[in-house]
Amino acid sequence: MSDTDRHPFLAGLSKHRGAQPTCLIIFGASGDLASRKLLPALYNLAVDSLLPSDFYLIGFGRKPIPDADFQTSSATDISKFSRREYRADIWKRVSDQTFYQAGGYDEPAAYESLKQKIAVAEKSAGRPLQLVFYVSTPPTVFESILENLGKSGLAARGQGTAIESKVIIEKPFGRDLDSAVQLNKVAASNFLEPQIYRIDHYLGKETVQDLLVQRFANPIFEPLWNNKHVDHVQLTVSEELGVGSRGGYYDHSGATRDMLQNHTMQLLALTAMDQPASLSAEHIRNEKVKLLKSVQPLRLGPNGDAVRAQYTAGLSGGENVIGYHQEKDIPNHSSTETFCALRLTIDNARWAGVPFYMRSGKRLARRVSEIAVQFKQPVTGLFAGDSRYDIAPNRLVIQIQPDEGVTLVMNSKVPGLEPRTQPVRLSFRYATTFGSNTPEAYERLILDAIVGDRTLFIRGDETEASWRLFTPLLKSWEQLGKSGVETYAAGSWGPAGADDLLSAQGHSWRNAGR
Ligand code: BG6
């Protein structure tokens, strides 16, 4: 194993220097994700001179768009959504090598035309290009695209060589266990596993990558990271925004498929897994899969391990906002959950008996993603039974976003002659220590795919392990329809049932800021 294989994290951005000349093909090029995230990510990679020296971009979509219009609209998207100011001279180098291919995702002829566009790019580069296909379309056409890439010979191009084709597959990867297994099958019958990059953009966030460093480069934590010392863990991924213009997609998905099955489960896996044998992609993913497989089936039904709810009209960010049923493209009878909270049990020696709570939802009080590890209170204590001593449980809060940082809650004597104590915070903020203009998740992930590092991508068995947990729950909800769907006012912290889930075990949500 080479040093870069064993230490992909440490090799970091310098890896791009060996990056192959590349043609990136975005399926769904005029979609929301491409405009808001993918094109701005490419721009920022260009600003940092991290794209391969020969880099070509082809947008693929159903709408016919002339190359020049795609180039112009890309520049507009970047100006609107990039974290750094748009500079035409920088983007020009990419823009001059940008093309557009219109066609149906299921039309073999469109892939033949795509091949011709690729041939034009290769002629201009004067050498063969590695092909990176980014599937960023609605999930209904994922299989069609994979199959057509296979049939057209584009998937197998250069297989096993340094310029082999790669495919990045966006979420949602399936909508239950069967469809994920089927999608994995279709992917595997057209690509080899090392060519497949299943994306979860949470893994590209700096703070999520830092979880490995926090946990395994700071040996003070490991002896405490178990059921002897940890009382419970809370994972929150809350959003202030509603479904906005994505109602059509969201109503078929819901909070559980949209956020918990993927993003939140990845946070859980990285928080709770054992130390990997090395930082190689396979070792890290092995540990994540092992952990996901140890999560016990959810108890379904009333007083079970899951709560779902929909937001109603309320006050969010100081403004009156409408409820889920009034949002565009949401049917009146919809039972889709915009909030989900779960209580998970991990059946292994490290975590037996420690509840892991997770929740995610739209239109909650604040946007925050965090992992809060709450340690046990001392069984006996010098300070017990005296109201002057306000002793809080120690708590380590890893804040993924916004205001990225790590806080340790400790107890301290309040200065003065009175014998009083108070919980205090030891706090590290990324922005104050490292500055705030860090790369966005998609920059890191696109670059990793170009250089062939799969550490921050999901393996097929990983996504299946997660779906195995969620599928019975989602099926039971389908059968129940609206029965059991709670409500919460937009701008609140969610439904009463989510509080009951914790209070049943003497716990309560740490609502951000508390
Ligand atoms: C996406 C979901 O995967 O993640 C969206 O589809 C959600 O519904 C988004 O808003 C949240 O991502 P971030 O990076 O803003 O936390």
Q: How far is the CA of 245 from the centre of ligand 1 (A)?
A: 14
Q: Are residues 8 and 95 in the same domain?
A: yes
Average pLDDT over residues 428-448: 90
Angle at 74 between CA 68 and CA 76, to 5 degrees: 105
Domain endpoint, select from 170, 189, 216:
170
Q: Are residues 153 and 245 in the same domain?
A: no
Radius of gyration of the chain (CA): 24
Q: Are 57 and 90 in contact (CB under 8 A)?
A: no
pTM beyond 0.95, yes or no: no
Q: Which amino acid is located at 91 in the chain?
A: W
pLDDT band at 68 (very low <50, low <70, confident <90, very high): very high
* C-alpha span between 505 and 138 (Å, rounded): 40
The residue segments making up the domain with residue 334 are: 203-380+460-503
What local confidence, expressed as pLDDT, does residue 385 receive?
80
Residue at token pair 């975005």: 26
Atom 13 of ligand 1, residue of closest alpha carbon: 202
Find the residues whose C-beta lies inside 6 A of ligand 1: 171, 239, 258
Average pLDDT over residues 53-66: 95
Atom of ligand 1 nearest to the CA of 367: 16
Rounded-to-5 percentages of helix, strand, coil across the chain: 40, 20, 40
Q: Which residue has the higher pLDDT, 309 or 248?
A: 309
Atom 14 of ligand 1, residue of closest alpha carbon: 202
Q: How far is the CA of 6 from the centre of ligand 1 (A)?
A: 30
Catalytic residues: 263
Average pLDDT over residues 128-135: 97
In a domain, 108, yes or no: yes
Contacts 24+ apart (CB under 8 A), 183-186: 183/142, 183/143, 184/460, 184/463, 184/464, 186/142, 186/143, 186/146, 186/147
Q: Are residues 118 and 232 in the same domain?
A: no
Q: How far is the CA of 121 from the centre of ligand 1 (A)?
A: 33
Q: Are residues 359 and 236 in the same domain?
A: yes
CATH code of the domain covering residue 33: 3.40.50.720
Atom of ligand 1 nearest to the CA of 246: 8
CATH code of the domain covering residue 488: 3.30.360.10
Q: How far is the CA of 285 from the centre of ligand 1 (A)?
A: 22
In a domain, 45, yes or no: yes
Atom of ligand 1 nearest to the CA of 253: 6
Average pLDDT over residues 242-255: 93
Task: DSSP for 252-289, please give it.
Answer: TTHHIIIIIIIIIHHHHHHHHSPPPSSSSHHHHHHHHH
